[in-house]
Chains A and B, each alone.
Chain A
Amino acid sequence: MTLHIAIKKHQGEFLLDLDISAGDGVTALFGRSGAGKSTVIKAIAGLVTPDSGYIQLGDQVLFDSASRTNQPVHKRRIGLVFQDARLFPHLSVLKNLLYGARFSDGSVKRTDAVAMADLLGLEGLLGRKPFGLSGGEAQRVAIGRALLSKPKLLMMDEPLAGLDQARKADVLALIERVRDVVGVPILYVSHAREEVLRLANQVAIIADGRCVDQGVPDALLGGGSGTGLARTVRARLVMKNSSDGLSELALAGGRLFVPQVDAPLGWVLQLEIAARDVMLSLHPPEGLSALNVLACQITELRAAGANPSAVDVMLACGDDSLVAQVTRRSVEQMGLQPGMGVYAVIKSVALAQTSGAMTMVDA
Protein backbone atom coordinates (compact mmCIF):
# COMPACT_ATOMS: atom_id res chain seq x y z
CA MET A 1 0.00 0.00 0.00
CA THR A 2 1.57 3.25 -1.08
CA LEU A 3 0.46 6.70 -0.12
CA HIS A 4 1.22 9.59 -2.46
CA ILE A 5 0.55 13.14 -1.42
CA ALA A 6 1.23 16.23 -3.47
CA ILE A 7 -0.79 19.10 -2.06
CA LYS A 8 -0.81 22.82 -1.56
CA LYS A 9 -2.74 24.56 1.16
CA HIS A 10 -2.69 28.19 2.22
CA GLN A 11 -3.50 28.94 5.83
CA GLY A 12 -3.21 32.66 6.28
CA GLU A 13 0.45 33.48 5.70
CA PHE A 14 1.46 29.85 5.96
CA LEU A 15 1.85 27.78 2.82
CA LEU A 16 1.90 24.02 2.94
CA ASP A 17 3.47 22.66 -0.22
CA LEU A 18 4.35 19.00 0.01
CA ASP A 19 5.18 16.03 -2.09
CA ILE A 20 5.60 12.84 -0.09
CA SER A 21 5.31 9.11 -0.63
CA ALA A 22 4.97 6.53 2.08
CA GLY A 23 5.10 2.76 1.77
CA ASP A 24 4.51 -0.12 4.15
CA GLY A 25 5.82 -0.06 7.68
CA VAL A 26 6.11 3.13 9.66
CA THR A 27 6.69 6.43 7.89
CA ALA A 28 7.39 9.35 10.17
CA LEU A 29 6.62 12.97 9.49
CA PHE A 30 9.24 14.73 11.52
CA GLY A 31 9.53 18.42 12.23
CA ARG A 32 9.03 21.19 14.73
CA SER A 33 5.57 22.09 15.89
CA GLY A 34 4.04 24.54 13.48
CA ALA A 35 5.87 22.99 10.53
CA GLY A 36 2.61 21.78 9.06
CA LYS A 37 2.72 18.10 9.98
CA SER A 38 -0.73 18.01 11.53
CA THR A 39 -2.24 19.78 8.54
CA VAL A 40 -0.83 17.05 6.29
CA ILE A 41 -2.44 14.42 8.48
CA LYS A 42 -5.75 16.26 8.46
CA ALA A 43 -5.64 16.62 4.70
CA ILE A 44 -5.06 12.89 4.29
CA ALA A 45 -7.90 12.12 6.70
CA GLY A 46 -10.17 14.55 4.85
CA LEU A 47 -10.62 16.92 7.77
CA VAL A 48 -8.91 19.69 5.84
CA THR A 49 -9.36 20.28 2.12
CA PRO A 50 -6.18 21.21 0.25
CA ASP A 51 -6.28 24.10 -2.24
CA SER A 52 -4.86 21.90 -4.95
CA GLY A 53 -3.02 18.65 -5.61
CA TYR A 54 -3.86 15.01 -5.07
CA ILE A 55 -3.80 12.34 -2.39
CA GLN A 56 -3.78 8.71 -3.35
CA LEU A 57 -3.76 5.64 -1.12
CA GLY A 58 -3.06 2.42 -3.00
CA ASP A 59 -5.36 2.54 -6.00
CA GLN A 60 -7.88 4.76 -4.23
CA VAL A 61 -7.85 8.47 -5.09
CA LEU A 62 -8.82 10.32 -1.91
CA PHE A 63 -8.44 13.81 -3.26
CA ASP A 64 -7.70 15.23 -6.65
CA SER A 65 -8.30 18.87 -7.40
CA ALA A 66 -7.95 18.24 -11.15
CA SER A 67 -10.84 15.77 -11.28
CA ARG A 68 -12.67 17.42 -8.36
CA THR A 69 -12.47 14.23 -6.33
CA ASN A 70 -12.81 14.64 -2.60
CA GLN A 71 -13.81 11.54 -0.71
CA PRO A 72 -15.69 12.26 2.51
CA VAL A 73 -13.85 11.52 5.73
CA HIS A 74 -15.91 8.52 6.70
CA LYS A 75 -15.32 6.73 3.40
CA ARG A 76 -11.55 7.06 3.40
CA ARG A 77 -10.92 4.26 5.86
CA ILE A 78 -7.95 5.92 7.43
CA GLY A 79 -7.54 5.46 11.16
CA LEU A 80 -6.41 8.52 13.05
CA VAL A 81 -5.03 8.58 16.57
CA PHE A 82 -5.00 12.12 17.90
CA GLN A 83 -2.75 13.71 20.47
CA ASP A 84 -5.70 13.77 22.86
CA ALA A 85 -7.33 10.36 22.83
CA ARG A 86 -10.80 11.72 21.99
CA LEU A 87 -12.69 8.77 23.42
CA PHE A 88 -16.47 9.02 23.45
CA PRO A 89 -17.35 9.86 27.06
CA HIS A 90 -20.80 8.28 26.92
CA LEU A 91 -19.54 4.87 25.78
CA SER A 92 -17.67 2.17 27.68
CA VAL A 93 -14.16 1.21 26.66
CA LEU A 94 -15.55 -1.85 24.86
CA LYS A 95 -18.09 0.24 22.97
CA ASN A 96 -15.42 2.78 22.12
CA LEU A 97 -13.27 -0.03 20.71
CA LEU A 98 -16.19 -1.32 18.67
CA TYR A 99 -17.39 2.08 17.50
CA GLY A 100 -15.87 1.83 14.02
CA ALA A 101 -16.90 -1.79 13.58
CA ARG A 102 -20.53 -0.96 12.89
CA PHE A 103 -19.53 1.11 9.88
CA SER A 104 -17.08 -1.39 8.37
CA ASP A 105 -17.89 -4.63 6.56
CA GLY A 106 -19.25 -6.32 9.68
CA SER A 107 -16.28 -8.66 10.07
CA VAL A 108 -15.23 -7.16 13.40
CA LYS A 109 -16.88 -8.88 16.33
CA ARG A 110 -16.88 -8.47 20.06
CA THR A 111 -14.22 -11.18 20.30
CA ASP A 112 -11.92 -9.06 18.12
CA ALA A 113 -12.31 -6.21 20.55
CA VAL A 114 -11.44 -8.50 23.42
CA ALA A 115 -8.40 -9.77 21.52
CA MET A 116 -7.38 -6.19 20.78
CA ALA A 117 -7.78 -5.34 24.45
CA ASP A 118 -5.40 -8.18 25.25
CA LEU A 119 -2.86 -6.94 22.74
CA LEU A 120 -3.08 -3.44 24.19
CA GLY A 121 -3.15 -4.49 27.84
CA LEU A 122 -6.67 -3.23 28.46
CA GLU A 123 -8.22 -6.48 29.70
CA GLY A 124 -9.63 -5.15 32.94
CA LEU A 125 -10.97 -1.93 31.52
CA LEU A 126 -13.55 -3.03 28.96
CA GLY A 127 -16.55 -2.17 31.10
CA ARG A 128 -15.18 1.18 32.27
CA LYS A 129 -16.12 4.60 31.03
CA PRO A 130 -13.32 6.75 29.60
CA PHE A 131 -13.78 9.32 32.36
CA GLY A 132 -11.50 7.61 34.89
CA LEU A 133 -8.82 6.31 32.53
CA SER A 134 -5.22 7.52 32.76
CA GLY A 135 -3.71 9.28 29.76
CA GLY A 136 -1.78 6.18 28.74
CA GLU A 137 -4.81 3.93 29.02
CA ALA A 138 -6.96 6.35 27.04
CA GLN A 139 -4.35 6.55 24.29
CA ARG A 140 -4.17 2.76 24.10
CA VAL A 141 -7.95 2.58 23.76
CA ALA A 142 -7.76 5.19 21.01
CA ILE A 143 -5.17 3.12 19.15
CA GLY A 144 -7.29 -0.02 19.49
CA ARG A 145 -10.39 1.83 18.39
CA ALA A 146 -8.64 3.10 15.26
CA LEU A 147 -7.25 -0.35 14.45
CA LEU A 148 -10.63 -2.05 14.87
CA SER A 149 -12.14 0.25 12.26
CA LYS A 150 -9.99 -1.80 9.84
CA PRO A 151 -8.14 1.14 8.36
CA LYS A 152 -5.99 0.85 5.25
CA LEU A 153 -3.64 3.34 6.83
CA LEU A 154 -3.18 4.26 10.47
CA MET A 155 -2.11 7.80 11.21
CA MET A 156 -0.85 8.94 14.59
CA ASP A 157 -0.54 12.63 15.37
CA GLU A 158 1.94 13.02 18.22
CA PRO A 159 0.28 10.22 20.17
CA LEU A 160 2.78 10.48 23.02
CA ALA A 161 2.79 14.23 23.41
CA GLY A 162 0.38 14.37 26.33
CA LEU A 163 1.97 11.56 28.34
CA ASP A 164 4.61 11.49 31.06
CA GLN A 165 7.88 9.62 30.55
CA ALA A 166 6.80 6.28 31.99
CA ARG A 167 3.56 6.20 30.00
CA LYS A 168 5.44 7.30 26.89
CA ALA A 169 7.69 4.25 27.10
CA ASP A 170 4.61 2.09 27.61
CA VAL A 171 2.69 3.37 24.65
CA LEU A 172 5.79 3.45 22.46
CA ALA A 173 6.39 -0.24 23.14
CA LEU A 174 2.78 -0.85 22.29
CA ILE A 175 2.97 0.98 18.99
CA GLU A 176 6.01 -1.16 18.17
CA ARG A 177 3.92 -4.23 18.91
CA VAL A 178 1.11 -2.96 16.72
CA ARG A 179 3.60 -2.29 13.93
CA ASP A 180 4.96 -5.82 14.16
CA VAL A 181 1.72 -7.71 14.83
CA VAL A 182 -1.01 -5.88 12.92
CA GLY A 183 1.02 -4.93 9.90
CA VAL A 184 -1.05 -1.90 8.88
CA PRO A 185 1.00 0.90 7.30
CA ILE A 186 1.48 3.70 9.80
CA LEU A 187 2.04 7.38 9.26
CA TYR A 188 3.55 8.74 12.46
CA VAL A 189 3.78 12.44 13.20
CA SER A 190 6.33 13.48 15.79
CA HIS A 191 8.82 16.13 16.76
CA ALA A 192 10.75 13.67 18.95
CA ARG A 193 13.80 12.14 17.30
CA GLU A 194 13.97 9.12 19.60
CA GLU A 195 10.43 8.10 18.70
CA VAL A 196 11.11 8.38 14.99
CA LEU A 197 14.43 6.51 15.21
CA ARG A 198 12.82 3.75 17.20
CA LEU A 199 9.62 3.29 15.21
CA ALA A 200 10.02 4.44 11.66
CA ASN A 201 11.65 2.81 8.68
CA GLN A 202 11.14 5.94 6.62
CA VAL A 203 11.05 9.58 7.54
CA ALA A 204 10.00 12.77 5.82
CA ILE A 205 11.40 15.89 7.43
CA ILE A 206 8.94 18.76 7.33
CA ALA A 207 9.95 22.36 7.84
CA ASP A 208 7.91 25.49 7.10
CA GLY A 209 5.29 23.52 5.21
CA ARG A 210 7.74 21.77 2.94
CA CYS A 211 9.29 18.34 2.88
CA VAL A 212 12.99 19.13 3.08
CA ASP A 213 14.25 15.56 3.07
CA GLN A 214 12.93 12.06 2.87
CA GLY A 215 14.73 8.80 3.57
CA VAL A 216 15.90 6.34 6.21
CA PRO A 217 15.66 7.74 9.75
CA ASP A 218 19.16 6.62 10.73
CA ALA A 219 20.63 8.43 7.76
CA LEU A 220 18.61 11.61 8.14
CA LEU A 221 18.36 11.95 11.89
CA GLY A 222 21.54 10.18 12.91
CA GLY A 223 21.95 8.15 16.05
CA GLY A 224 22.73 10.73 18.62
CA SER A 225 23.38 14.32 19.41
CA GLY A 226 21.62 15.66 16.40
CA THR A 227 24.64 17.37 14.86
CA GLY A 228 24.98 14.73 12.19
CA LEU A 229 24.95 11.11 11.26
CA ALA A 230 26.03 8.69 13.96
CA ARG A 231 25.66 5.14 15.17
CA THR A 232 25.22 3.66 18.57
CA VAL A 233 27.29 0.61 19.45
CA ARG A 234 27.31 -1.50 22.58
CA ALA A 235 30.57 -2.35 24.29
CA ARG A 236 31.47 -4.17 27.50
CA LEU A 237 33.64 -2.48 30.06
CA VAL A 238 36.57 -4.88 30.54
CA MET A 239 39.12 -2.74 32.34
CA LYS A 240 39.09 0.54 34.13
CA ASN A 241 41.55 2.51 36.22
CA SER A 242 44.53 1.73 34.07
CA SER A 243 47.61 3.73 35.09
CA ASP A 244 47.10 6.29 32.32
CA GLY A 245 43.45 6.93 33.22
CA LEU A 246 41.85 5.11 30.33
CA SER A 247 39.15 2.45 30.46
CA GLU A 248 39.04 -0.40 28.03
CA LEU A 249 35.87 -1.52 26.28
CA ALA A 250 35.44 -4.65 24.23
CA LEU A 251 33.17 -5.08 21.27
CA ALA A 252 32.99 -7.58 18.48
CA GLY A 253 35.41 -5.86 16.10
CA GLY A 254 38.07 -4.88 18.60
CA ARG A 255 38.77 -2.74 21.61
CA LEU A 256 38.13 0.87 22.40
CA PHE A 257 39.95 3.06 24.89
CA VAL A 258 38.01 5.86 26.43
CA PRO A 259 38.63 8.28 29.29
CA GLN A 260 37.88 6.70 32.62
CA VAL A 261 34.36 5.32 32.84
CA ASP A 262 32.55 5.24 36.12
CA ALA A 263 30.67 1.96 35.87
CA PRO A 264 31.14 -1.54 37.24
CA LEU A 265 33.29 -3.96 35.27
CA GLY A 266 31.30 -6.13 32.93
CA TRP A 267 28.63 -3.52 32.25
CA VAL A 268 27.56 -2.96 28.72
CA LEU A 269 27.64 0.67 27.66
CA GLN A 270 26.06 2.39 24.73
CA LEU A 271 28.49 4.47 22.80
CA GLU A 272 27.74 6.99 20.17
CA ILE A 273 30.14 7.30 17.29
CA ALA A 274 29.56 10.13 14.85
CA ALA A 275 30.20 9.58 11.16
CA ARG A 276 32.67 12.42 10.92
CA ASP A 277 34.73 10.99 13.79
CA VAL A 278 35.47 7.84 11.82
CA MET A 279 38.36 7.58 9.34
CA LEU A 280 38.94 4.60 7.13
CA SER A 281 42.20 2.81 6.40
CA LEU A 282 42.85 -0.11 4.04
CA HIS A 283 45.63 -1.46 6.31
CA PRO A 284 46.02 -1.72 10.06
CA PRO A 285 47.22 1.80 10.77
CA GLU A 286 50.67 2.41 12.27
CA GLY A 287 52.25 5.55 13.51
CA LEU A 288 48.91 7.16 14.24
CA SER A 289 47.94 8.97 17.40
CA ALA A 290 44.44 7.46 17.47
CA LEU A 291 44.17 4.38 19.67
CA ASN A 292 40.81 3.15 18.61
CA VAL A 293 40.83 0.96 15.53
CA LEU A 294 38.11 -1.52 14.66
CA ALA A 295 38.17 -4.07 11.85
CA CYS A 296 35.03 -3.69 9.77
CA GLN A 297 33.43 -4.59 6.51
CA ILE A 298 31.78 -2.13 4.14
CA THR A 299 28.09 -2.89 3.70
CA GLU A 300 26.93 0.04 1.64
CA LEU A 301 28.00 3.32 0.13
CA ARG A 302 25.45 6.07 0.23
CA ALA A 303 25.30 9.66 -0.96
CA ALA A 304 25.54 11.86 2.10
CA GLY A 305 22.35 13.85 2.09
CA ALA A 306 22.83 17.41 1.00
CA ASN A 307 26.62 17.37 0.67
CA PRO A 308 27.57 16.30 -2.87
CA SER A 309 31.25 15.79 -2.12
CA ALA A 310 30.71 13.42 0.81
CA VAL A 311 29.81 9.75 0.99
CA ASP A 312 28.43 7.82 3.94
CA VAL A 313 30.16 4.48 4.25
CA MET A 314 28.08 1.96 6.18
CA LEU A 315 30.18 -0.51 8.10
CA ALA A 316 29.52 -3.78 9.84
CA CYS A 317 31.70 -4.44 12.83
CA GLY A 318 30.69 -7.79 14.25
CA ASP A 319 27.08 -7.29 15.24
CA ASP A 320 27.46 -3.55 15.47
CA SER A 321 27.19 -1.09 12.70
CA LEU A 322 29.16 2.07 12.19
CA VAL A 323 29.07 4.80 9.66
CA ALA A 324 31.97 6.86 8.35
CA GLN A 325 31.65 10.03 6.38
CA VAL A 326 34.45 10.39 3.85
CA THR A 327 34.93 12.43 0.70
CA ARG A 328 33.91 11.13 -2.69
CA ARG A 329 37.55 11.53 -3.72
CA SER A 330 38.73 9.21 -0.94
CA VAL A 331 36.22 6.59 -2.03
CA GLU A 332 37.64 6.68 -5.54
CA GLN A 333 41.30 6.77 -4.50
CA MET A 334 40.92 3.92 -2.03
CA GLY A 335 38.59 1.98 -4.33
CA LEU A 336 36.06 1.48 -1.56
CA GLN A 337 33.15 -0.78 -2.35
CA PRO A 338 30.66 -2.94 -0.48
CA GLY A 339 32.15 -6.16 0.85
CA MET A 340 35.66 -4.78 1.36
CA GLY A 341 37.37 -5.14 4.70
CA VAL A 342 38.64 -1.87 6.14
CA TYR A 343 39.88 -0.49 9.44
CA ALA A 344 37.83 2.18 11.10
CA VAL A 345 39.94 4.68 12.99
CA ILE A 346 37.80 6.33 15.60
CA LYS A 347 38.82 9.76 16.71
CA SER A 348 36.38 10.13 19.52
CA VAL A 349 33.68 8.24 21.31
CA ALA A 350 30.82 9.64 23.28
CA LEU A 351 29.00 7.76 25.98
CA ALA A 352 25.40 8.06 24.96
CA GLN A 353 23.70 10.31 27.47
CA THR A 354 20.29 8.73 27.03
CA SER A 355 18.43 7.11 29.89
CA GLY A 356 19.51 3.72 28.62
CA ALA A 357 23.18 4.71 28.56
CA MET A 358 24.35 1.88 30.73
CA THR A 359 22.53 -1.35 30.69
CA MET A 360 23.44 -4.51 32.50
CA VAL A 361 23.30 -7.45 30.19
CA ASP A 362 23.10 -10.95 31.52
CA ALA A 363 26.03 -12.79 30.10
Chain B
Amino acid sequence: MADFAIAEWLGPAEWQAVVLSLQVAFVAMLASLPLGLFIAYALARWRFFGHGLLNALVHLPLVLPPVVTGYLLLIGFGRQGPIGGFLDETFGVRFAFEWTGAALASAVMGFPLMVRAIRLAFESIDPKLEEAASTLGASRLMVLLSVTLPLALPGIIAGMVLAFAKAMGEFGATITFVSNIPGRTQTIPSAIYAFLQVPGGEESAFRLILVSIAVSIGAVLVAELLARRATAARVDRP
Protein backbone atom coordinates (compact mmCIF):
# COMPACT_ATOMS: atom_id res chain seq x y z
CA MET B 1 0.00 0.00 0.00
CA ALA B 2 1.39 3.30 -1.11
CA ASP B 3 -0.66 5.01 1.58
CA PHE B 4 1.03 2.94 4.20
CA ALA B 5 4.47 3.52 2.86
CA ILE B 6 3.91 7.26 2.95
CA ALA B 7 2.48 7.01 6.47
CA GLU B 8 5.61 5.08 7.58
CA TRP B 9 7.91 7.54 5.90
CA LEU B 10 6.09 10.51 7.44
CA GLY B 11 5.72 9.63 11.08
CA PRO B 12 2.43 9.91 13.01
CA ALA B 13 2.24 13.65 13.63
CA GLU B 14 3.06 14.50 10.05
CA TRP B 15 0.67 11.86 8.71
CA GLN B 16 -2.06 13.27 10.90
CA ALA B 17 -1.50 16.74 9.46
CA VAL B 18 -1.63 15.40 5.89
CA VAL B 19 -4.88 13.48 6.46
CA LEU B 20 -6.45 16.42 8.24
CA SER B 21 -5.40 18.81 5.50
CA LEU B 22 -6.93 16.63 2.79
CA GLN B 23 -10.12 16.30 4.82
CA VAL B 24 -10.32 20.03 5.45
CA ALA B 25 -9.60 20.88 1.82
CA PHE B 26 -12.16 18.45 0.39
CA VAL B 27 -14.87 19.56 2.78
CA ALA B 28 -14.06 23.22 2.19
CA MET B 29 -14.21 22.73 -1.57
CA LEU B 30 -17.41 20.68 -1.64
CA ALA B 31 -19.27 22.70 0.98
CA SER B 32 -18.58 26.01 -0.70
CA LEU B 33 -19.43 24.72 -4.20
CA PRO B 34 -23.24 25.19 -4.10
CA LEU B 35 -22.99 28.75 -2.81
CA GLY B 36 -20.09 29.40 -5.16
CA LEU B 37 -22.13 28.24 -8.16
CA PHE B 38 -25.08 30.34 -7.10
CA ILE B 39 -23.12 33.53 -6.51
CA ALA B 40 -21.06 33.05 -9.66
CA TYR B 41 -24.27 32.61 -11.67
CA ALA B 42 -25.89 35.61 -10.04
CA LEU B 43 -22.88 37.80 -10.72
CA ALA B 44 -22.57 36.57 -14.29
CA ARG B 45 -26.21 36.69 -15.33
CA TRP B 46 -28.29 38.91 -13.12
CA ARG B 47 -28.26 42.65 -12.79
CA PHE B 48 -29.58 43.60 -9.39
CA PHE B 49 -29.23 46.25 -6.73
CA GLY B 50 -26.04 45.55 -4.78
CA HIS B 51 -24.35 43.65 -7.61
CA GLY B 52 -21.14 45.60 -7.14
CA LEU B 53 -21.29 45.28 -3.37
CA LEU B 54 -21.72 41.50 -3.54
CA ASN B 55 -18.83 41.28 -5.97
CA ALA B 56 -16.62 43.30 -3.61
CA LEU B 57 -17.70 41.22 -0.63
CA VAL B 58 -16.84 37.97 -2.40
CA HIS B 59 -13.40 39.32 -3.28
CA LEU B 60 -12.73 40.67 0.19
CA PRO B 61 -10.87 37.61 1.57
CA LEU B 62 -8.48 37.93 -1.34
CA VAL B 63 -7.33 41.40 -0.30
CA LEU B 64 -7.83 41.43 3.45
CA PRO B 65 -4.89 40.26 5.57
CA PRO B 66 -5.70 36.59 6.33
CA VAL B 67 -5.25 37.30 10.04
CA VAL B 68 -8.07 39.82 9.83
CA THR B 69 -10.33 37.32 8.07
CA GLY B 70 -9.50 34.73 10.72
CA TYR B 71 -10.21 37.15 13.51
CA LEU B 72 -13.54 38.19 11.96
CA LEU B 73 -14.46 34.49 11.72
CA LEU B 74 -13.54 34.06 15.35
CA ILE B 75 -15.82 36.94 16.34
CA GLY B 76 -18.69 35.71 14.17
CA PHE B 77 -18.38 31.95 14.39
CA GLY B 78 -16.74 31.52 17.80
CA ARG B 79 -18.89 29.89 20.46
CA GLN B 80 -19.64 33.31 21.90
CA GLY B 81 -20.16 34.81 18.46
CA PRO B 82 -23.69 35.47 17.14
CA ILE B 83 -23.58 32.91 14.31
CA GLY B 84 -21.36 30.38 16.05
CA GLY B 85 -23.47 30.48 19.22
CA PHE B 86 -26.66 29.99 17.25
CA LEU B 87 -25.27 27.05 15.24
CA ASP B 88 -23.90 25.43 18.40
CA GLU B 89 -27.20 25.69 20.27
CA THR B 90 -29.45 24.72 17.36
CA PHE B 91 -27.47 22.11 15.44
CA GLY B 92 -24.61 21.32 17.78
CA VAL B 93 -22.15 22.40 15.10
CA ARG B 94 -19.00 24.01 16.42
CA PHE B 95 -16.30 25.78 14.47
CA ALA B 96 -13.90 27.36 16.95
CA PHE B 97 -10.82 25.21 17.56
CA GLU B 98 -12.31 22.32 15.54
CA TRP B 99 -11.33 20.94 12.15
CA THR B 100 -14.69 22.21 10.86
CA GLY B 101 -13.44 25.69 11.65
CA ALA B 102 -10.34 25.04 9.61
CA ALA B 103 -12.59 23.96 6.75
CA LEU B 104 -14.70 27.11 7.14
CA ALA B 105 -11.63 29.36 7.15
CA SER B 106 -10.21 27.60 4.06
CA ALA B 107 -13.56 27.79 2.30
CA VAL B 108 -13.84 31.52 2.93
CA MET B 109 -10.28 32.12 1.75
CA GLY B 110 -10.75 29.99 -1.39
CA PHE B 111 -14.19 31.38 -2.18
CA PRO B 112 -13.11 34.35 -4.31
CA LEU B 113 -10.94 32.11 -6.48
CA MET B 114 -13.73 29.59 -6.94
CA VAL B 115 -16.39 32.21 -7.74
CA ARG B 116 -14.12 34.03 -10.16
CA ALA B 117 -13.33 30.92 -12.21
CA ILE B 118 -16.94 29.75 -12.32
CA ARG B 119 -18.25 33.23 -13.09
CA LEU B 120 -15.92 33.49 -16.08
CA ALA B 121 -17.17 30.11 -17.28
CA PHE B 122 -20.80 31.25 -17.06
CA GLU B 123 -20.00 34.50 -18.78
CA SER B 124 -18.37 32.71 -21.67
CA ILE B 125 -21.55 30.75 -22.43
CA ASP B 126 -23.63 32.28 -25.18
CA PRO B 127 -27.05 33.09 -23.65
CA LYS B 128 -28.46 32.44 -27.12
CA LEU B 129 -27.91 28.73 -26.53
CA GLU B 130 -30.02 28.99 -23.40
CA GLU B 131 -32.69 30.84 -25.36
CA ALA B 132 -32.68 28.07 -27.93
CA ALA B 133 -33.08 25.48 -25.19
CA SER B 134 -36.06 27.28 -23.71
CA THR B 135 -37.81 27.51 -27.09
CA LEU B 136 -37.38 23.74 -27.30
CA GLY B 137 -39.41 23.36 -24.12
CA ALA B 138 -36.77 23.39 -21.38
CA SER B 139 -37.77 25.17 -18.18
CA ARG B 140 -35.24 27.47 -16.52
CA LEU B 141 -34.05 24.70 -14.25
CA MET B 142 -33.69 22.26 -17.14
CA VAL B 143 -31.79 24.85 -19.18
CA LEU B 144 -29.44 25.23 -16.25
CA LEU B 145 -28.96 21.49 -15.81
CA SER B 146 -28.78 20.45 -19.45
CA VAL B 147 -27.02 23.39 -21.10
CA THR B 148 -25.48 25.93 -18.74
CA LEU B 149 -23.81 23.65 -16.21
CA PRO B 150 -22.42 21.13 -18.73
CA LEU B 151 -20.98 23.97 -20.80
CA ALA B 152 -19.51 25.63 -17.71
CA LEU B 153 -18.04 22.35 -16.44
CA PRO B 154 -14.39 23.03 -17.33
CA GLY B 155 -14.57 26.36 -15.51
CA ILE B 156 -16.35 24.80 -12.54
CA ILE B 157 -13.63 22.18 -12.28
CA ALA B 158 -10.98 24.88 -12.45
CA GLY B 159 -12.73 26.79 -9.68
CA MET B 160 -12.95 23.68 -7.50
CA VAL B 161 -9.29 22.92 -7.93
CA LEU B 162 -8.27 26.48 -7.10
CA ALA B 163 -10.41 26.32 -3.96
CA PHE B 164 -8.91 22.95 -3.02
CA ALA B 165 -5.35 24.14 -3.55
CA LYS B 166 -6.01 27.32 -1.61
CA ALA B 167 -7.50 25.26 1.24
CA MET B 168 -4.45 22.98 1.31
CA GLY B 169 -2.21 25.99 1.74
CA GLU B 170 -4.35 28.24 3.93
CA PHE B 171 -2.45 29.35 7.01
CA GLY B 172 -3.15 32.81 8.38
CA ALA B 173 -6.92 32.74 8.75
CA THR B 174 -6.89 29.12 9.92
CA ILE B 175 -4.33 29.57 12.68
CA THR B 176 -6.07 32.74 13.88
CA PHE B 177 -9.50 31.14 13.92
CA VAL B 178 -8.84 27.59 15.12
CA SER B 179 -5.26 27.75 16.39
CA ASN B 180 -2.76 24.97 15.80
CA ILE B 181 -3.85 21.89 17.69
CA PRO B 182 -2.16 18.67 16.52
CA GLY B 183 -4.75 16.13 15.41
CA ARG B 184 -7.60 18.62 15.51
CA THR B 185 -6.73 21.76 13.63
CA GLN B 186 -3.13 21.29 12.61
CA THR B 187 -3.08 21.25 8.80
CA ILE B 188 0.06 20.87 6.71
CA PRO B 189 1.01 24.58 6.74
CA SER B 190 0.42 24.87 10.50
CA ALA B 191 2.42 21.69 11.06
CA ILE B 192 5.31 22.98 8.94
CA TYR B 193 5.21 26.20 10.91
CA ALA B 194 5.18 24.25 14.20
CA PHE B 195 8.05 21.97 13.16
CA LEU B 196 10.14 24.94 12.15
CA GLN B 197 9.68 26.43 15.63
CA VAL B 198 11.30 23.48 17.42
CA PRO B 199 14.97 22.45 17.13
CA GLY B 200 15.45 19.40 14.88
CA GLY B 201 12.03 19.78 13.26
CA GLU B 202 13.44 20.72 9.85
CA GLU B 203 13.37 17.15 8.61
CA SER B 204 9.68 16.73 9.36
CA ALA B 205 8.96 20.13 7.89
CA PHE B 206 10.84 19.20 4.75
CA ARG B 207 8.86 15.98 4.29
CA LEU B 208 5.61 17.92 4.62
CA ILE B 209 6.88 20.45 2.13
CA LEU B 210 7.45 17.61 -0.35
CA VAL B 211 3.93 16.29 0.27
CA SER B 212 2.57 19.78 -0.17
CA ILE B 213 4.29 20.19 -3.52
CA ALA B 214 3.14 16.74 -4.67
CA VAL B 215 -0.49 17.38 -3.73
CA SER B 216 -0.49 20.76 -5.46
CA ILE B 217 0.99 19.38 -8.65
CA GLY B 218 -1.38 16.43 -8.50
CA ALA B 219 -4.40 18.71 -8.12
CA VAL B 220 -3.40 20.84 -11.09
CA LEU B 221 -2.80 17.74 -13.24
CA VAL B 222 -6.14 16.18 -12.32
CA ALA B 223 -7.90 19.48 -13.02
CA GLU B 224 -6.18 19.79 -16.37
CA LEU B 225 -7.19 16.24 -17.27
CA LEU B 226 -10.83 16.73 -16.28
CA ALA B 227 -11.13 20.08 -18.01
CA ARG B 228 -9.52 18.71 -21.14
CA ARG B 229 -11.92 15.79 -21.15
CA ALA B 230 -14.91 18.11 -20.69
CA THR B 231 -13.75 20.34 -23.55
CA ALA B 232 -12.79 17.43 -25.77
CA ALA B 233 -16.35 16.16 -25.46
CA ARG B 234 -17.32 18.94 -27.85
CA VAL B 235 -15.07 17.78 -30.64
CA ASP B 236 -15.36 14.58 -32.62
CA ARG B 237 -12.65 12.08 -31.97
CA PRO B 238 -11.41 10.29 -35.07
A residues within 8 Å of B by Cβ?
Answer: 45-47, 72-80, 82, 84, 86, 88-90, 99-100, 103-104, 128-132, 145-146, 149
Contact = CB atoms under 8 A, between A and B. Distances in A.
B233 interface: yes
Contact of A146 (B128, B136, B138, B233): B136
B76 interface: no
B231 to A, nearest CB: 9
Contacts of A90: 150-151, 233-234
Interface residues of B, number: 22
B217 interface: no
A184 to B, nearest CB: 14
Given A74-B138, A103-B137, A129-B236, 7 more contacts: A73-B135, A86-B128, A86-B131, A100-B136, A100-B138, A131-B235, A132-B235
A84 B129 CA distance: 10
Interface string B134-153: 11111110100011001100
B138 A131 contact: no
B155 to A, nearest CB: 13
B60 interface: no
20 contacts: A47-B131, A72-B139, A73-B135, A74-B134, A74-B135, A74-B137, A74-B139, A74-B140, A76-B135, A77-B137, A78-B135, A79-B135, A86-B131, A88-B133, A90-B151, A99-B138, A103-B136, A104-B137, A129-B236, A145-B136
B132 interface: yes
Contacts of A129: 233-236
Contacts of A75: 137
Interface of B: 126, 128-129, 131-140, 142, 146-147, 150-151, 233-236
A78 B134 CA distance: 10
A99 B150 CA distance: 14
Contact of A86 (B132, B137, B234): B132
Contacts of B128: 82, 84, 86
B150 A100 contact: no
A99 B139 CA distance: 12
Residue with the greatest number of chain B CB neighbours at <10 A, chosen from A77, A79, A88: A88
B165 to A, nearest CB: 26
A43 to B, nearest CB: 13
Contacts of A131: 234-236
A47 B127 CA distance: 12
B129 A86 contact: yes
A103 B138 CA distance: 6
Nearest to A145: B136
B79 to A, nearest CB: 47
Contacts of A45: 135
Contacts of B151: 88-90
A103 B142 contact: yes
A21 B133 CA distance: 27
A254 B126 CA distance: 59
B24 to A, nearest CB: 33
B185 to A, nearest CB: 42
B133 A99 contact: yes
Contacts of B135: 45, 47, 73-74, 76, 78-80, 146, 149
B236 A89 contact: no
Contact of A149 (B129, B136, B142, B236): B136
B134 A73 contact: yes
A73 to B, nearest CB: 4
Given A77-B137, A146-B136, A88 B236 contact: no
Nearest to B139: A74
